[in-house]
């Protein structure tokens, strides 16, 4: 596997960054998880825009232009001969010293692109749906750190996932400080109630996901399903007809059990199935061509 590191394609074994990089020392950096389907990079423009917005929000200067980043990303996918890929774009603050002071990071940020073929969830998750639980780790308050900054510090999300997995569930539902449903550690959450698709509004503290946006567009424009971005309580989730998660890595995963409550009839819902089909078709037929 070949990795793009600061302007060069290197072998996996040579893809190393310094232990003095503040991305490693403090999680001081940003990332994007992107997918390519059928030789096309899905929503590349949106991912690059979000990366640049994350950079702006943390005062990080990305050392290359968007167009160069796009070229480097495509070059990396091509170098690995991939048609379908999961791509990780990472930009760190760069090398500094052991102090927090960002001014000591005199070397420009590191840009790393990894393209690989990754299966994030078991196939049976998509066939049967998953069971999720609410966890005690709350989503970081948005007045402390905006959920829209995809920073390299995911400890809070990892602790949430760990609690879920250790209690035998596939995923975690995270609540905000007020106790309302926000999202999962790496996915947005949706429910269907009486034919209406609902998801927590961005103002609840969720990352406004790119897959979330695609699903909302499909529901409104293709399926004729009304969509509401709302405040969602656990009661709303427990009593929903359908539930599913969305994310670049996960795509669309049906949820059939939440905190031991069976959702709907315990099977993948009709609207969920329709959206999964439509999302697959959209992902395979749209996006930036790799060649």
Q: Catalytic residues, which ones? A: 150
Q: Min. distance of Cβ 89 from ligand PXG in angstroms?
A: 11
Residue 108, token pair as written in the block = 């420009």
The shares of helix, strand and coil residues in the chain, as percent rounded to the nearest 5, are 35, 30, 40
Residue 98, token pair as written in the block = 């052991």
Q: Min. distance of Cβ 106 from ligand PXG in angstroms?
A: 29
Instruction: Let me know: does 151 contact 217? Beta carbons within 8 Å.
Output: no
CA 77 to chain CA centroid, nearest Å: 19
- Between CA 36 and CA 5 the distance in angstroms is 20
Question: Among candidates 248, 249, 173, 171, which has minimal Cα distance to 211?
Answer: 248
The smaller minimum CB distance to ligand PXG, of residues 8 and 141, is found at 141
Give the angle 238-239-240 at the CA atoms, nearest 5°: 95
Instruction: Let me know: does 252 contact 211? Beta carbons within 8 Å.
Output: yes
Report DSSP state, residue 46.
H
End-to-end CA distance of the chain: 19
Sign of CA dihedral 208, 209, 210, 216: negative
Report DSSP state, residue 99.
S
Q: Min. distance of Cβ 82 from ligand PXG in angstroms?
A: 17
Q: Min. distance of Cβ 263 from ligand PXG in angstroms?
A: 20
The smaller minimum CB distance to ligand PXG, of residues 46 and 104, is found at 46
The smaller minimum CB distance to ligand PXG, of residues 77 and 253, is found at 253
Give the angle 126-50-245 at the CA atoms, nearest 5°: 20
Strand, helix or coil for residue 158: helix
| Binding footprint of ligand PXG on the chain (CB under 6 A) | 33, 120, 157, 183, 186-188, 207, 209-212, 246-250
Report DSSP state, residue 239.
T
The smaller minimum CB distance to ligand PXG, of residues 129 and 209, is found at 209
Q: Min. distance of Cβ 31 from ligand PXG in angstroms?
A: 7
Q: Min. distance of Cβ 186 from ligand PXG in angstroms?
A: 3
The smaller minimum CB distance to ligand PXG, of residues 89 and 95, is found at 89
The smaller minimum CB distance to ligand PXG, of residues 95 and 191, is found at 191
Give the other-Cβ count within 10 Å of 149's Cβ.
16
């Amino acid at each position: 596997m070949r990795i793009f590191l600061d302007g060069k394609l290197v072998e996996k074994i040579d893809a190393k960054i310094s232990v003095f990089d503040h991305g490693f020392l403090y999680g001081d950096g940003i990332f994007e998880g992107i997918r390519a389907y059928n030789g096309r990079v899905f929503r590349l423009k949106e991912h690059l825009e979000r990366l640049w917005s994350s950079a702006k929000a943390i005062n990080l200067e990305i050392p290359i232009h968007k167009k160069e980043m796009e070229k480097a990303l495509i070059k990396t996918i091509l170098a690995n001969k991939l048609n379908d890929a999961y791509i990780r774009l990472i930009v760190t603050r760069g090398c500094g010293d052991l102090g927090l002071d960002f001014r000591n990071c005199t070397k420009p940020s590191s840009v790393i692109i990894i393209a690989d073929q990754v299966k994030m969830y078991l196939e049976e998750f998509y066939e049967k749906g998953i069971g999720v639980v609410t966890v005690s780790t709350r989503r970081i308050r948005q007045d402390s750190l905006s959920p829209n900054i995809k920073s390299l510090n995911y400890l809070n999300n990892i602790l949430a996932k760990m609690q879920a997995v250790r209690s035998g569930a596939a995923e975690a539902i995270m609540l905000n400080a007020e106790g309302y449903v926000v999202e999962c550690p790496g996915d947005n959450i949706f429910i269907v109630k009486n034919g209406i698709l609902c998801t927590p509004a961005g103002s609840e503290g969720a990352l406004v996901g790119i897959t979330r946006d695609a699903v909302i567009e499909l529901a409104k424009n293709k399926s004729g399903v009304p969509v509401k971005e709302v405040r969602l309580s656990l009661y709303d989730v427990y009593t929903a007809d359908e539930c599913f998660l969305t994310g670049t890595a996960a795509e669309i995963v049906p949820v059939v059990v939440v905190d031991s409550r069976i959702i709907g009839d315990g099977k993948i819902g009709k609207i969920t199935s329709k959206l999964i089909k439509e999302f697959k078709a959209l992902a395979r037929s749209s996006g930036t061509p790799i060649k």
